Structure 1
Amino acid sequence: MGTDIVAQIAVLVNDIETTSQAYADFFGIEKPQWKLTDTLDKTQATYNGEPAEARAKLAFIKFGNITIELIEPDHNPSTWREVLDEKGEGFHHIAFRVDGLKSIVGEMEDRQMPLIQKGEYTGGRYAYMDTFKDLKLIIELLGNDIKP
């Protein structure tokens, strides 16, 4: 992937308000504000190769070099909804910032690690890769237009 630095650990939640407050109380920090992901016309998102209407509330909590991302998905099909429905609240993925996202996605697919979901966001794009068979987790690749 060209990097060994974890950028983010993501956690699926049913109620982002309650969970954000729990993190704030536990760590003695300000409660993070959540934002709603953009609509399909902006994200161009796909899930299992099909256009994805799914949206989610996201809250970010920065801890040094790592960010914890809280995700409360809507009820449209997505990797977030699928995992939340099947496994409940908790861990979803580890994210890495990468250069050459499209090429890395291709290399991973060649290694039988298929693309699950992808989309655009302001400042970049993301790809969730199904690395569960080999690595026992989902990896998210972040291709940011602006370096942090």
Structure 2
Amino acid sequence: MDKNVLGTNVIAQIGIIVKDIEKTAQVYADFFGVEKPPINLTDAVEQAETEYKGNSTEARAKLAFFDMGSLQLELIEPDQHPSTWREYLDEHGEGPHHIAFVVEGMEEKIKVMEANNMPLQQKGEYTGGRYAYMDTFKDLKVLVELLENDK
């Protein structure tokens, strides 16, 4: 494998899959001594253009973000539709889902990772950018999320 495939080693975010985001977000807020962040719903497939394992999916999730210095903690409660989030919850239960890195040139990063047996699992758009989950679980024991923000 090429050295530093992503062009960065700075983890921007840790994502955790949860069953009850309202309850879990409150527990984290109490633990950190901060206000509970707002719970947001991901965009519908028409805006997000969500694809899971190469197929369009209506999957959505509730998200809560805790900004913790240079690292963001993301809580994710998936809906019932096929997604990396739903698959993780069904197979592993609650817990760490991904570590995320901000990258430039996402399409090229995806190609490089796929060439290194780390296939694209899910991708989509969000206001201001796009994301891609790469299936690195076998090797890294967690998925890698690529985040590319519009300039």
Gapped regions of structure 1 (runs ≥ 5): none
TM-score, scaled to structure 1: 0.97
Q: Percent identity?
A: 61
TM-superposed CA distance for 1:137, in Å, is 1.5
1:144 aligned residue (136, 139, 149): 149
1:16 aligns with 2:21: yes
Code of the aligned partner of 1:120: E
Tell me how far apart the structure 2 counterparts of residues 30 and 63 of structure 1 sit (CA, whole Å).
13
> Which whole-Å deviations, capped at 9, do the CAs of 1:87-145 have from their partners, x for residues lacking one?
11111000000000010000100111100000000000000001122222100000111
Name the SS for the 1:6 alignment partner: coil
Amino acid at match of 2:14: I
Letter in 1 for 2:133: Y
Q: TM-score, normalised by structure 2?
A: 0.95
Q: Which residue number in structure 2 is paired with residue 58 of structure 1? A: 63
Q: Which amino acid aligns with 2:59?
A: A
Match of 1:84 in 2: 89
Aligned residue type for 1:91:
P
Aligned to 1:28: 33
Alignment partner for residue 107 of structure 1, among 99, 108, 112? 112
What code does the residue aligned with 2:99 have? Answer: I
**Residue matched to 2:72:** 67
The AA in structure 1 aligned to 2:66 is: I
Distance in 1 (alpha carbons) for counterparts of 2:86 and 2:80: 6
Is the aligned partner of 1:47 residue 2:64? no
2:122 corresponds to which of 117, 120, 140: 117
Query: Post-superposition, which runs of at least 4 consecutive aligned residues in structure 1 deviate over 2 A?
Result: none
Give RMSD over aligned pairs. 0.7
